[in-house]
Structure 1
Amino acid sequence: MAMPIPQLVERAREELSKLTGLELSTTLGAAKDEKGWRISVEMVEKHSIPDQMDILAIYEVLLDDAGNLLEFGRKKLRKRIDTEVEEEE
């Protein structure tokens, strides 16, 4: 049975936190494709002082319709202060 999106997002966040040991920051998006649900989550890789220099990472998780983790990976790193988003082609 397929899980609703809010439950899939929560599952992705829980699994990433357990697997990486990193602090969760923000859920950036969720989309379904032919392989399953792709959920993007931003996580704190490294705390710094001042906190604007924290290193944040965007992770992508792939879940099936039942919420089982199929794969995950870090896609990008940035400093918290770097708010400009690059367009992907």
Structure 2
Amino acid sequence: MPSAGRTEREGRAARRRRARPEEPDERYDDEPEQPDEPQQPDEPEQPDEPEQPDEPDRAAPLPARLAARAGLEHVAELTTKTPTGVTSLDRTEDGWTVGVEVIEDRRIPSSTDILAVYEVQVDAEGELIGYRRVRRYPRGRGDGGSESR
């Protein structure tokens, strides 16, 4: 099936042939073809730059799942302790606050391990803003135990 651009060009060429005199005229052989109508490109022109939104450039907000993962990885890297999981996750104006529980001190039996919760602030891209230990406690004394910082 012929493309629309080709059919349009053939139609213009046929109109020019009908407009020419019946006898061959050499001036038509030497002159470049001039279109009767302005040529339109086959594809619409793409703007050089995308349209700018009315608001300043802002990165898409970091999804909660990725913020939690980023916080967990930052704590593991900074403390060299083994994280047991994410205990809290809150969106802030600048990004996220992530609570991460880690094993501070492994003991035998494991029921006597010392655990800690770190609070990590990450920005909208998941980069570390800050962190601090907010709680340290023996395993099994979770929320009911005394807090020490």
Q: Which runs of 5+ in 2 are unaligned?
A: 1-58
- Alpha-carbon distance in structure 1 between the residues aligned to 2:142 and 2:81: 21
- Alpha-carbon distance in structure 2 between the residues aligned to 1:85 and 1:59: 18
Matched, 1:36 2:57: no
Runs of 4+ aligned residues of structure 1 deviating over 4 Å after TM superposition are: none
- Alpha-carbon distance in structure 2 between the residues aligned to 1:83 and 1:18: 24
**Higher helix proportion (structure 1 or 2):** 2
Among 57, 60, 64, the alignment partner of 2:123 is: 64
- Alpha-carbon distance in structure 1 between the residues aligned to 2:143 and 2:72: 24
- Alpha-carbon distance in structure 1 between the residues aligned to 2:143 and 2:70: 28
**Deviation of 1:69 (Å):** 0.5
**Higher strand proportion (structure 1 or 2):** 1
**Deviation of 1:35 (Å):** 4.3
Code of the aligned partner of 1:14: E
Provide the secondary structure at the position in 2 that maps to 1:82.
coil
Show the counterpart of 2:8.
none
Show the counterpart of 1:24.
83
TM-score by length of 2: 0.54
**Deviation of 1:15 (Å):** 1.1
- Alpha-carbon distance in structure 2 between the residues aligned to 1:32 and 1:69: 14
Shift in alpha-carbon separation, 1:56–1:32, aligned structure 2, 3 A? same
For these two proteins, the number of residue pairs brought into alignment is 86
Q: Which runs of 5+ in 1 are unaligned?
A: none
Deviations 1:13-34 (A, max 9, x none): 1111011100011210100123
Q: Percent same amino acid among aligned pairs?
A: 28
Show the counterpart of 2:71.
12
Q: Which moved more, 1:75-84 or 1:51-60?
A: 75-84
Shift in alpha-carbon separation, 1:71–1:84, aligned structure 2, 3 A? closer
